[in-house]
Chains A and B, each alone.
Chain A
């Protein structure tokens, strides 16, 4: 059973479009995260969310918005996609400050 699953695995789209990436975890964790890994492989936190608070990395453009329908899901919605948004986006989850478990990633390519 996949612990943290993301869909789609690959996403190719044009500039200006709006897209969503879905994430689900079946580990019973209380906190979920979105990370961006750029072309230089640098992994950077975008958002963290539990049922009490949303923490946003101040460098993330407001075109990016997380949406959590319940504790097991944290989706990422991106408006008006730009070339610089091309990257691999990883969802992760954890319980408290225990180790985070990562999904397989979504490879986003902007044409």
Chain B
């Protein structure tokens, strides 16, 4: 059974610092990985997608993928109070099939002003 593991937190980071969120996954066949942000009472919102080993940067966000270690991370630079939310790591299906994403249980991030 596919599993995605995340530390549930809460992870507390001072405003302006770098927040580092980590995730490991079990399905080596997966080709796609995603980070979603979810505010309380809202739906998941895509932050980053990554498909190949290495780093991918988008504004203040950097996703890192290491398929050999089955590890995905998300770095948030210059953290803002509005970044406080639950961050969900997800892996796509093996071989790009039609079955859905496997999510971790989420890391609750708190940015302290």
* Chain B interface main SS type: loop
Which B residues lie within 8 Å of A92 (CB)? Answer: 100
Residue on B nearest A34 in the bound complex, by CB: B100
B-contact bits for A32-56, CB 8 A (1 contact / 0 none): 0101000011111101111011010
Name the contact of A45 in the complex, choosing from B38, B86, B99 (C-beta under 8 A): B99
Report yes or no: A90 in contact with B44, Cβ–Cβ below 8 A: yes
Which B residues lie within 8 Å of A90 (CB)? Answer: 43-44
Name the contact of A105 in the complex, choosing from B43, B46, B49 (C-beta under 8 A): B43
Chain B interface: which size bin? 20 to 34
Task: State the CA gap A111–B51 with chains docked (Å).
Answer: 43
Let me know if A96 is at the binding interface, CB within 8 A.
Answer: yes
Which A residues lie within 8 Å of B102 (CB)? Answer: 45
Which A residues lie within 8 Å of B32 (CB)? Answer: 97
B-contact bits for A87-110, CB 8 A (1 contact / 0 none): 000101000111111111100000
Given A90-B44, A102-B44; A48-B99 close (CB under 8 Å)? yes
Interface hit among B10-18, B19-27, B61-69, B88-96: B88-96
Let me know if B73 is at the binding interface, CB within 8 A.
Answer: no
